[in-house]
Homo-oligomer: A and B are copies of this chain.
């Protein structure tokens, strides 16, 4: 009917025939647009229709690839989680020390940094109302991998007799809850009402992490725990 079809931009440059009825790789494009939209305008800015609009496709097209919005957001979350985990892995590679506490700290720092730089992506991964965590093997696997990494470091720390209290699982969950809480407080915009300026948020979160780690250790340090 419409003789003119809107020119379809192919940002990725991946193999896709231009101006065809079929998109070529709509699924990936939708996920990419979902991530971009989230990064730009927050969670509420991500709508199926807008994602479709950006991909140059009709509002109903996404439903060919995802049964509902939760499924789309879950796919977006999988991509976000993959990037998150990649950043944690990289931070561990950068931390050359084999001191388990320093490596734990690196993970915590990477967690906080990523959440601060990708607030909405962090929100998508976290909120189980938007995604179907249980229905994604990828999310579960990435999560389990990070957990395992953490537990083994804590066990190593306990083996070396560094910890005041030897309960790796409890410490893991407590530490997780701390960084999770710091990240969410920042993202939820709570720091202003706690007298914390935007500019000092990063430093504060780091000191907060150090305070917690110091509390775990036998040796009474202050601030940076273990400077090799």
Count of interface residues, chain A, beta-carbon cutoff 8 Å? 46
Copies of this chain per assembly: 2
A contact residues vs B (CB 8 Å cutoff): 42-44, 126-129, 133-134, 140, 143, 147, 164-165, 167, 170-171, 173-174, 176-182, 184-185, 188-190, 192-194, 196, 204, 207-208, 211-212, 214-216, 218, 220, 222
Contact of A214 among B165, B184, B220 (CB under 8 A): B165
For A172, give the chain B residue with the smallest CB separation. Answer: B194
Whether the pair A185, B193 counts as a contact (CB closer than 8 A) is: no
Chain B's closest residue to A194 (CB) is: B173
* Complex contact A211–B170 (CB within 8 A): yes
Of B173, B181, B194, the contact of A184 (CB 8 Å cutoff): B181
For A133, the chain B residues whose CB sits under 8 A away are 189, 193
**Inter-chain contact A176/B165, CB cutoff 8 Å:** no
A170 touches B214 (CB 8 A): no
CB of B190 within 8 A of CB of A181, answer no
Report the minimum CB–CB distance from A94 to chain B (whole Å): 25
Q: What CA separation (Å) do A207 and B169 show in the bound complex?
A: 11
Asked whether B181 lies within 8 Å of A177 as measured between CB atoms, the reply is: yes
